[in-house]
Amino acid sequence: MKTMEQNERAYWTKDVADRLQIGHSTLRKYCLCLEEHGYHFTKGQRGSRAFLESDIEVLAKMRDVLNETGTTLEKAVTVALEERENEPLHVAMPPEQPSNEQENWRLHIATSFQMAQQLLEQQKEELLKIVSEKIHEELRETWRQQELRAIEREEERERRTIEREKELVIKRDEQLMELIRAKQELKQAQLEEATTKVEPKKGFFRFFSRR
């Protein structure tokens, strides 16, 4: 991540987008692609990008390459960064020319700060990766638990269905046995009634046969 010199002006996203005559989303896309290739922007207190003149020059070069050749965004980034490497490093100078010792010390501090920022960015990426993996693991476990609960509910529904079917079968068998018993009792009653009617007639015939 770059640092702003005290007297160098910084521009925000809206200013740069208006100056380059591109949309805010296009500017963000350019910046993301540059950062993916190791480019570092100055960041504000809330993490918003602050653009220096050197940044705007790189972005303008990307825009021009894309407009002129119709090439890909990746290629435009490569061309813009290669051209920037071939140009002298842009460092904003204070009104008075610093001594070589001051300049070397300033470059040493800037380099050390940049290395520290890069290390922090790397650690942040590693931490984000660990957190992301942990979240994914928790999500997978949550989905697994939900699936297990769904299986348990399905098994419970099947068990209740089988129990209801058993109860219906038992009830049907009981009704069938009751119907069979009722028919047997009716048949027995009819048989007894028929037997009762036949016995007096036999006695009547025996009485007249004796005379």
State the Cα–Cα distance between residues 129 and 164, nearest whole angstrom.
52
State the Cα–Cα distance between residues 162 and 4, nearest whole angstrom.
76
Domain CATH code at residue 17: 1.10.1660.10
Is 35 inside a domain boundary?
yes
State the Cα–Cα distance between residues 169 and 73, nearest whole angstrom.
73
Token pair in block for residue 167: 């109860």
Is 61 inside a domain boundary?
yes
Is 192 inside a domain boundary?
no
Is 190 inside a domain boundary?
no
Domain that holds residue 2: 1-90
pLDDT for 136 equals 85
pLDDT for 210 equals 54
- Taking 70 as the threshold, does the pLDDT of residue 202 lie above it? no
Mean pLDDT of 167-184: 91
pTM above 0.85, yes or no: no
pLDDT for 48 equals 85
pLDDT for 168 equals 92
Strands 49-50 and 42-43: antiparallel
- Taking 70 as the threshold, does the pLDDT of residue 87 lie above it? no
pLDDT for 38 equals 92
Pairwise pLDDT comparison (191 vs 1), residue with the higher score: 191
- Taking 50 as the threshold, does the pLDDT of residue 163 lie above it? yes
Label residue 92 by pLDDT band (50, 70, 90): very low
Q: Domain count for the chain, please give it.
A: 1
CB 1 within 8 A of CB 39: no
Pairwise pLDDT comparison (203 vs 29), residue with the higher score: 29
Is 149 inside a domain boundary?
no
- SS3 readout for 37-81: CCCCCEECCCCCEEECHHHHHHHHHHHHHHHHHCCCHHHHHHHHH
pLDDT for 22 equals 94
Is 29 inside a domain boundary?
yes
